[in-house]
Amino acid sequence: MRETWHERFIDSPGVLKGAAREQTIVRVLDFHVGGNEFITMAGPCSVETEFQLMATANHVRRAGARILRGGAFKPRSSPYAFQGHGLEGLKMLARAREESGLAIVTEVMSEDDVPMVAEYADILQIGTRNMENYSLLEAAARSGRPILLKRGMAATIADWLRSAQLILNNGNPNVILCERGIRTFETATRNTFDVSAIALLKQISHLPVIADPSHAAGHRELVPVLARIAVASGADGLLVEVHPNPEKAWSDGEQSLDFAGFDAMMYDLEPWLELRGRELERREGDGALPMEAVG
């Protein structure tokens, strides 16, 4: 007898689809993540200057983004690299929200910083390095803010779902999963984009799933292609790095789109999003698909 998905992920029953929960819809300001609208989160890897952030926020909003991403605190591989502006970066993000109308997602790295970051951000991001930092997950959950939970760079889907379950267990149902690529033997790209994880999660979990093609690729010319693949796999949205001048970015410039590149990506996504919309209509007409067994 074949093992079912519920049996495979028995440690995370609360994140799996069932009769009581087919799809979680996360409300952010005046829109929703996980519903029929495809949500794009875009902005610079790091909050650098007021001009850089405001220019980016206003541009990505005009191109169709609903959420501004930007790092006030930056976990960097090198201790000598820019680590973020901290509180001042959060204040710049808040001013960008006021001017552009975009919601804000930014990373929180310490449980001690959760109240401060939650005061300024609409969504708290848990980065790949902290996916299994359970003290941080518990504190972030108790903030009441929606949580964007990035997959750990070497985490299995089961590991990832257990972390999501911990957030739910601490009273916060508003979890958004983010596939950002995993570390494998392949070195041509920054990470290996696990598109099968998106397809699987959309089958078995009620939580929204978005994709981060920037960190998966590590090269800006690959980002639009991976974005289209993410839509085709069933993702509910994208998290994309955009910068006015990527060549002079203080972090991750090589994987950041410039404004023209972001506009072109959003334009090229339109037919894929139309197909997505038709597929959602078909599924709604057919009713919920049954839970399949593991092959």
The CATH number linked to 194 is 3.20.20.70
| Residue 112: domain span | 5-286
What length is written for the chain?
295
293 assigned to some structural domain: no
Q: Average model confidence (pLDDT) for the chain?
A: 93
Distance CA 295, CA 276 (A): 26
243 assigned to some structural domain: yes
40 assigned to some structural domain: yes
* Distances from the Cα of 251 to the Cα of 45, 92, 286, angstroms: 6, 17, 46
**Are 251 and 74 within 8 A, CB to CB?**
yes
Is it the case that residue 231 has pLDDT exceeding 70?
yes
Q: Which amino acid is at 150?
A: K
pLDDT tens digits, 117-133: 999 999 999 999 999 99
Q: What are phi and psi of 69, to 5 degrees?
A: -100, 150
Distance CA 188, CA 110 (A): 32
Tell me, what's the pLDDT at 198?
98
Tell me, what's the pLDDT at 280?
86
| Alpha helices by DSSP H, the chain | 5-8, 50-63, 87-100, 114-120, 134-142, 157-169, 195-204, 213-217, 223-233, 259-286
- Number of domain units in the chain: 1
Is it the case that residue 218 has pLDDT exceeding 60?
yes
Tell me, what's the pLDDT at 178?
98
Q: Per 3-state DSSP, what percentage of the chain is helix, strand, and coil (rounded to 5)?
A: 45, 20, 35
203 assigned to some structural domain: yes
Tell me, what's the pLDDT at 166?
98
User: How buried is 112 (Cβ within 10 angstroms: 0-12 exposed, 13-18 middle, 19+ buried)?
Assistant: exposed
Tell me, what's the pLDDT at 78?
61
pLDDT tens digits, 81-137: 566 789 999 999 999 999 999 999 999 999 999 999 999 999 999 999 999 999 999
295 assigned to some structural domain: no
pTM score of the predicted model: 0.93
pLDDT-derived band at 21, boundaries 50, 70, 90? confident
How does DSSP classify residue 220? G
Q: What average pLDDT does range 218-240 have in this prediction?
A: 97
pLDDT tens digits, 23-54: 999 999 999 999 999 999 999 999 999 999 99
pLDDT-derived band at 79, boundaries 50, 70, 90? low
| Percent of the chain with pLDDT strictly greater than 70 | 93
292 assigned to some structural domain: no
User: Higher confidence at residue 256 or residue 280?
Assistant: 256
Tell me, what's the pLDDT at 294?
45
DSSP for 107-130? Answer: E---GGGHHHHHHH-SEEEE-GGG
Tell me, what's the pLDDT at 105?
98
pLDDT tens digits, 151-197: 999 999 999 999 999 999 999 999 999 999 999 999 999 999 999 99
132 assigned to some structural domain: yes
